[in-house]
Amino acid sequence: MFESAEVGRSVDKKEYEKRVEALRTRILKAQHALADTHLRLVVLVGGVEGGGKTEVARRFLDWMDPRGLQVEAYGDPSDEENERPEYWRYWRTLPAAGHGAILVGSWYTRPIVARVFKQIGSGGFDQALDRAMAFEAMLVREKTVLVKLWLHLSKKEQKRRFKELESDRDTAWRVTKQDWEFSKKYDRFRGTCERALSKTSVAEAPWTVIEATDRRYRDLAAGEAVAAAIETALKKAAATGPKPAPDRAKPPRVSILSRLDLGMRLEGDHGKKFEKQQTRVALLSRRLRKEGRSLICAFEGVDAAGKGGSIRRLLAAIDVRNARVMAVAAPTDEERAHPYLWRFWRNLPRLGHATIYDRTWYGRVLVERVEGFCAKEDWTRAYAEIAAFEEELTESGVIVCKFWLQISPEEQLRRFKDRVKTPFKQYKITEDDWRNRKKWDAYQAAAVDMIEKTSTPDAPWTMIEAEDKRWARYQVMKAVADRLEEELG
Amino acid sequence: MFESAEVGRSVDKKEYEKRVEALRTRILKAQHALADTHLRLVVLVGGVEGGGKTEVARRFLDWMDPRGLQVEAYGDPSDEENERPEYWRYWRTLPAAGHGAILVGSWYTRPIVARVFKQIGSGGFDQALDRAMAFEAMLVREKTVLVKLWLHLSKKEQKRRFKELESDRDTAWRVTKQDWEFSKKYDRFRGTCERALSKTSVAEAPWTVIEATDRRYRDLAAGEAVAAAIETALKKAAATGPKPAPDRAKPPRVSILSRLDLGMRLEGDHGKKFEKQQTRVALLSRRLRKEGRSLICAFEGVDAAGKGGSIRRLLAAIDVRNARVMAVAAPTDEERAHPYLWRFWRNLPRLGHATIYDRTWYGRVLVERVEGFCAKEDWTRAYAEIAAFEEELTESGVIVCKFWLQISPEEQLRRFKDRVKTPFKQYKITEDDWRNRKKWDAYQAAAVDMIEKTSTPDAPWTMIEAEDKRWARYQVMKAVADRLEEELG
């Protein structure tokens, strides 16, 4: 893979100046065209130490409009970053639509270094690469012009470059002890990077390997790759596909939902039974911080299924100083300018904290599917994207509880009517609720698909028979307690 | 101040239930009315240890709609918080318009504890209270319903409460060693809090001291205070004032701007002179992180004054991995839902980093004043608010450089025409630019006021004669280098 980046490519000064002039006009035009679209630009600048990643980033800031273009370099994670999944720092620095980011270092850095120094095996390495690929595939489908540049130097050239930098008082600081340490492992780095690049150079997000020996050639090649990528994406974006259509599937006659026994009632001393579970949650949730864990409870269900009541009671058990309720309503314009999962990433709880979601990221495969707010290919790929998201959560120590609250259409009607006539409940009922009710079957079909496709051992769905409110609240509380007990030991 | 909160107020169970029912309907109605306005709700729950701050917060979550209502508790600052001014954590948790926050602990906690344990003197304490008051005054004027509750217990009652909690296995954990330690200093706390409350209980943000001995009385008093505050604010908000008018003041005939010599030119070997300054900036800015400092460069000036060119050259000197350019365009809807300074707080650089602003928070006293985007009382109070903001920055170690780039109207016209005819500059010129040009005098008048009112020793304005681009860029670079040298020694 790297042989063709050791052939001695170079550009003389005169040709460079001519080409730079043309490139600047071209890349600036492309950048400004992109600013008016829903596309964002993400440029990964990777490569060997001494290859000039930062110099290339600086060149982009110089050639392009630095407004709306940020350079991100990822050093040691901060404590807030350490308290979230690994990719949180990439999500939080993801540019909005119309903007761009030049990443010096990226999600490849940690796995490559860890593999070279044998902190992970080849299985762990491939797993990390799979995650990178899934993330990139999501970015590309969520309107990102993703350009992956790799700056290559031969072993000999790297050594020469370090010595050159060290010999000048003004640049000597740029060669660190770590650089020399890494350079001793050049061959191992080369093999590891080759593996990473060949595995992750896919059609939708290919790597451009650039021979970085000659700075002029390197900068031109980098600039031209970015200009070309934006131009291609703009052309593609201009050719708009058909308008997404609502999905009005019928649920199967017999399904995981239809088999629920909505006749379940909480018998006996309700209060005492419920309180017992609530106390369990109270005591267990207090241990989250100490155990280095956090908690996410996600609630889905048709309107009036009882999500709010269950959430209110959960809140009464958890230490409110560490808990937050996130009600998922229409996204803000900043949220709209990012991939659909961004609004959930940005609100992830810190260690010891809990976030309770009143509706969730599953909106993509429920309301967005049924109402045709996104294309079929968007909601079908979402199952895997969501599974990957939840895997990142659970891997990093988040305990994920997901609830589907099931009621019958008759019970929903009773509750709607009750809301209409009770003054302090009226705010809960809107025109939308009545409209959605007419699409009952489509929502049930979407829910069945969702539960079947996204129930995993670490992030299982708990289906709650919610016809009887007491039973539902008891079951939710018990499920959270059981889950906490299982996870915290 | 606290005597009247030791008189033995209580509410019996029957009365409590009756009043709670009425209160819930009332507070829920108020909350939902607020959700449709530009108002936000911030409730401070302060008071002595054992008074039940968290219990009260929990009650609010129970009585109100927990969606859009968050509880914030401020523990030890994270490292990201430690790398910014003290109030950053309060700004980042400030709710958007229509939402609410219940703060358990607040900006009063640190100064009170520090004063009780004699880490600060009475001067430092008063300074901290002044800052709190200025912050609150800004919040209130920026559409915040601010309710400040103080839960009081007598010395005897506090002791009784701790013992009661400790005697029950389920609540013993709530009494910490620190609680007992604080309780030993009850009298000193009482005096310090009394001083804090009496100084900061102003008409626009008064304290409500609540006798917290009887839990029913306490919760009702807290709830009723919040309901009443929202209702009052809603009434006030309904009575809208006159539409803000554009301010078309004339600049004084002789002013700090008119006295600038626009004939200044960079003579001799431009390149060499400029490079010398650029190298100084490069070497000095590398020391920021080590010295625990960060850098903000703020650029203002009429259109085409050369802000972009100066910024581009600054970027070329600073390590781009730690630098960011923030171009201040129209705010996003999230930014619009917060006080005008919020968008700048949210983007403050970490230690060692630099943020360069292409237009700034001074928009309030420039474009917003001239175009009538805000009322006269809003931009007149902004001078002090901005000075307070910059004081917080410089106190926390941020080096603040502010530049006003001055050109003549004739030079602006020449540059506009040049932009129109140069293909890769055309994006820089818009209809707005031509429109603003017609208000030249008004913008000059606003700029003169701004520079006079907000040039402080720690955050001075540097006025740049920008008619000659080379001179301007040289002066900017030199000023940044001088400033860094002065601050970093």
A146/A202 same-domain check: yes
Angle in degrees, CA A58, B85, B460, rounded to 5: 70
Minimal Cβ distance to A32: which of B65, B311, B427: B427
Q: 10 Å Cβ neighbour count for A471?
A: 19
Q: 10 Å Cβ neighbour count for B46?
A: 23
pLDDT at A240: 72
Terminal CA-to-CA distance of chain B, rounded, Å?
48
Mean pLDDT computed over every residue of chain A: 94
Q: Over pLDDT 70: what percentage of chain A?
A: 100
Query: Between residues 327 and 386 of chain B, which touch chain A (CB distance below 8 Å)?
Result: 327, 332-334, 358
Question: Which position has the higher pLDDT, A309 or A489?
Answer: A309
| Interface contact flag, A327 B67, Cβ < 8 Å | yes
| Minimal-distance CA residue of chain A relative to B326 | A67
pLDDT at B26: 95
- CB-based contact A115:A192 (threshold 8 Å): yes
User: What are the residues whose beta carbons fall under 8 Å from the beta carbon of A150, sequence distance 6 or more?
Assistant: A46, A47, A193, A197, A207, A208, A209, A210
Eight-state DSSP code of residue B28: H
User: Residue A415 and residue B276: Cα distance in Å, rounded?
Assistant: 76
Residue B248 lies in a domain: no
Question: Which position has the higher pLDDT, B450 or A424?
Answer: B450
What is the interface pTM, i.e. ipTM, of the complex?
0.86
User: Residue A73 and residue A226: Cα distance in Å, rounded?
Assistant: 19
User: What pLDDT digit, counting tens, does each position of A140-180 carry?
Assistant: 999 999 999 999 999 999 999 999 989 988 788 888 888 89
The residue whose two tokens read 């630095």 is A66
| Interface contact flag, B424 A25, Cβ < 8 Å | yes
pLDDT at B243: 87
Check CB contact of A204 with chain B, cutoff 8 Å: no
Q: Which residues of A touch B319 (CB under 8 A)?
A: 54
B276/B184 same-domain check: no
User: What pLDDT digit, counting tens, does each position of A248-280 carry?
Assistant: 999 999 999 999 999 999 999 999 999 999 999
The residue whose two tokens read 């009541």 is A309
Q: Which residues pair with B324 in a beta bridge?
A: B355
Closest CA to B27 of B201, B218, B219, B211: B219
Q: Which residues of A touch B275 (CB under 8 A)?
A: none
Q: Which residues of B207-233 are buried (b: 16+ CB within 10 A; e: fewer)?
A: bbbbbbbbebbbbbbbbbbbbebbbeb
B281/B144 same-domain check: no
| Interface contact flag, B321 A54, Cβ < 8 Å | yes
Check CB contact of B296 with chain A, cutoff 8 Å: no
Per-residue pLDDT of chain B (489 residues; tens, 9 = 90+): 898 899 999 999 999 999 999 999 999 999 999 999 999 999 999 999 999 999 999 999 999 999 889 999 998 899 999 999 999 999 999 999 999 999 999 999 999 999 999 999 999 999 999 999 999 999 999 999 999 999 999 999 999 999 998 998 878 888 888 899 989 999 999 999 999 999 999 999 999 999 999 999 999 999 999 999 999 999 998 887 788 999 999 999 999 999 999 999 999 999 999 999 999 999 999 999 999 999 999 999 999 999 999 999 999 999 888 899 999 988 999 999 999 999 999 989 999 999 999 999 999 999 999 999 999 999 999 999 999 999 999 999 999 999 999 999 999 999 999 999 887 777 788 888 999 999 999 999 999 999 999 999 999 999 999 999 999 999 999 999 999 999 998
- CB-based contact A382:A349 (threshold 8 Å): no
SS (H, E, C) B74-91: CCCCCHHHHCCCCCHHHH
| Mutate: best of A67, A82, A283, A336, partner B, most B CBs <10 A | A67
B353/B481 same-domain check: yes
pLDDT at B100: 97
pLDDT at A427: 76
Question: Which position has the higher pLDDT, A432 or A471?
Answer: A471
User: Residue B296 and residue B279: Cα distance in Å, rounded?
Assistant: 18
pLDDT at B171: 80
- Indicate the residue among A179, A214, A238 that finishes a domain: A238
Check CB contact of B153 with chain A, cutoff 8 Å: no
Check CB contact of B76 with chain A, cutoff 8 Å: no
- CB-based contact B251:B441 (threshold 8 Å): yes
A304/A166 same-domain check: no
Q: Total structural domains in chain A?
A: 2
SS (H, E, C) chain A: CCHHHCCCCCCCHHHHHHHHHHHHHHHHHHHHHHHCCCCEEEEEEEECCCCCHHHHHHHHHHHCCCCCEEEEECCCCCHHHHCCCCCHHHHHCCCCCCCEEEEECCCCHHHHHHHHCCCCCHHHHHHHHHHHHHHHHHHHHCCEEEEEEEEECCHHHHHHHHHHHHHCCCCHHHCCHHHHHHHHCHHHHHHHHHHHHHHHCECCECEEEEECCCHHHHHHHHHHHHHHHHHHHHHHHHCCCCCCCCCCCCCCCCCCCCCCCCCCCCCCCHHHHHHHHHHHHHHHHCCCCCCCCEEEEEEEECCCCCHHHHHHHHHHHCCHHHEEEEECCCCCHHHHCCCCCHHHHCCCCCCCCEEEEECCHHHHHCHHHHHCCCCHHHHHHHHHHHHHHHHHHHHCCEEEEEEEEECCHHHHHHHHHHHHHCHHHHHHCCHHHHHHHCCHHHHHHHHHHHHHHHCCCCCCEEEEECCCHHHHHHHHHHHHHHHHHHHHC
pLDDT at A265: 94
B197/B279 same-domain check: no
Question: How many helices (H) and strands (E) are present in chain B, helices listed first?
Answer: 20, 10
Closest CA to B56 of B45, B66, B64, B70: B45
| Interface contact flag, A427 B324, Cβ < 8 Å | no
A129/A177 same-domain check: yes
Closest CA to A47 of A218, A287, A257: A218
Check CB contact of A47 with chain B, cutoff 8 Å: no
User: Residue A127 and residue A115: Cα distance in Å, rounded?
Assistant: 12
B280/B359 same-domain check: yes
Domain that holds residue A402: 270-488
| Minimal-distance CA residue of chain B relative to A314 | B62
Min Cα distance B73 → chain A (Å) is 5
A29/A112 same-domain check: yes
Q: Which residues of B touch A286 (CB under 8 A)?
A: 173
Residue B207 lies in a domain: yes
Check CB contact of A20 with chain B, cutoff 8 Å: no
pLDDT at B30: 96
Residue A16 lies in a domain: yes
SS3 at position B445: helix
Minimal Cβ distance to A62: which of B54, B68, B312: B312
Q: Which residues of A touch B69 (CB under 8 A)?
A: 325
User: Residue B89 and residue B87: Cα distance in Å, rounded?
Assistant: 5
pLDDT at B150: 98
Q: Which residues of A touch B324 (CB under 8 A)?
A: 70-71
Minimal Cβ distance to B62: which of A78, A312, A321: A312
Q: How far is CA B154 from CA B2, B41, B112, B159, B348, in A?
A: 9, 29, 18, 9, 42
Check CB contact of A23 with chain B, cutoff 8 Å: no
User: What pLDDT digit, counting tens, does each position of B257-287 carry?
Assistant: 999 999 999 999 999 999 999 999 999 999 9
Residue B255 lies in a domain: no
Q: Token pair of B107, please?
A: 């900006």
Minimal Cβ distance to A66: which of B58, B79, B312: B312
User: What pLDDT digit, counting tens, does each position of A375-420 carry?
Assistant: 999 999 999 999 999 999 999 999 999 999 999 999 999 999 999 9
| Minimal-distance CA residue of chain A relative to B283 | A170
The residue whose two tokens read 């630098």 is B323
User: What pLDDT digit, counting tens, does each position of A75-114 carry?
Assistant: 889 999 999 999 999 999 999 999 999 999 999 999 999 9
User: What pLDDT digit, counting tens, does each position of A458-477 carry?
Assistant: 999 999 999 999 999 999 99
Q: Which long-range contacts (CB under 8 A, 24 or more apart) does A187-194 make?
A: A187/A155, A188/A116, A189/A48, A189/A112, A189/A116, A190/A2, A190/A155, A192/A112, A192/A115, A192/A116, A192/A125, A193/A2, A193/A48, A193/A112, A193/A150, A194/A1, A194/A2
B209/B277 same-domain check: no
User: What are the residues whose beta carbons fall under 8 Å from the beta carbon of B274, sequence distance 6 or more?
Assistant: B266, B313, B470, B473, B474, B477
Closest CA to B296 of B42, B483, B75, B147: B483
Residue B394 sits at φ, ψ, to 5 deg, of: -70, -35
- Indicate the residue among B214, B238, B262 that finishes a domain: B238
Residue B300 sits at φ, ψ, to 5 deg, of: -130, 160
B309/B446 same-domain check: yes
Q: How far is CA A297 from CA A277, A323, A342, B60, B348, in A?
A: 16, 11, 18, 21, 32
Q: Which residues of B396-410 are buried (b: 16+ CB within 10 A; e: fewer)?
A: bbbbbbbbbbbbeee
Eight-state DSSP code of residue B95: P
User: What are the residues whose beta carbons fall under 8 Å from the beta carbon of B224, sequence distance 6 or more?
Assistant: B23
Residue B459 host element (H or E): none
| Interface contact flag, B29 A424, Cβ < 8 Å | yes
Minimal Cβ distance to A66: which of B283, B286, B315: B315
User: Residue A464 and residue A306: Cα distance in Å, rounded?
Assistant: 10
Across residues A342-368, what is the average pLDDT?
Answer: 95
| Minimal-distance CA residue of chain A relative to B104 | A321
Stated length of chain A: 489
User: Residue A466 and residue A309: Cα distance in Å, rounded?
Assistant: 11
Query: Between residues 400 and 429 of chain A, which touch chain B (CB distance below 8 Å)?
Result: 423-424, 427
Counted across chains A and B, CB pairs separated by less than 8 A come out at 110
Min Cα distance B261 → chain A (Å) is 30
| Centroid of chain to Cα B439 | 30
Residue A244 lies in a domain: no
Eight-state DSSP code of residue B48: S
Residue A463 lies in a domain: yes
Minimal Cβ distance to A320: which of B58, B67, B322: B58
Confidence at A432, pLDDT banded by 50, 70, 90: confident
Pseudo-torsion of CA A155, A158, A164, A165, nearest 10°? -150
CATH of residue A427's domain is 3.40.50.300
- CB-based contact A109:A416 (threshold 8 Å): no
Minimal Cβ distance to B325: which of A58, A67, A78: A67
Residue A228 lies in a domain: yes
pLDDT at A200: 97
Q: Which residues of B touch A28 (CB under 8 A)?
A: 424, 427
B224/B283 same-domain check: no
Minimal Cβ distance to B321: which of A73, A332, A423: A73
- CB-based contact A413:A420 (threshold 8 Å): no
pLDDT at A423 over 80: no
Closest CA to A443 of A307, A246, A248, A253: A248
The residue whose two tokens read 């009517």 is A417
- Indicate the residue among A189, A221, A238 that finishes a domain: A238
User: Residue B182 and residue B158: Cα distance in Å, rounded?
Assistant: 11
Residue A304 lies in a domain: yes
| Mutate: best of B321, B322, B356, B428, partner A, most A CBs <10 A | B321
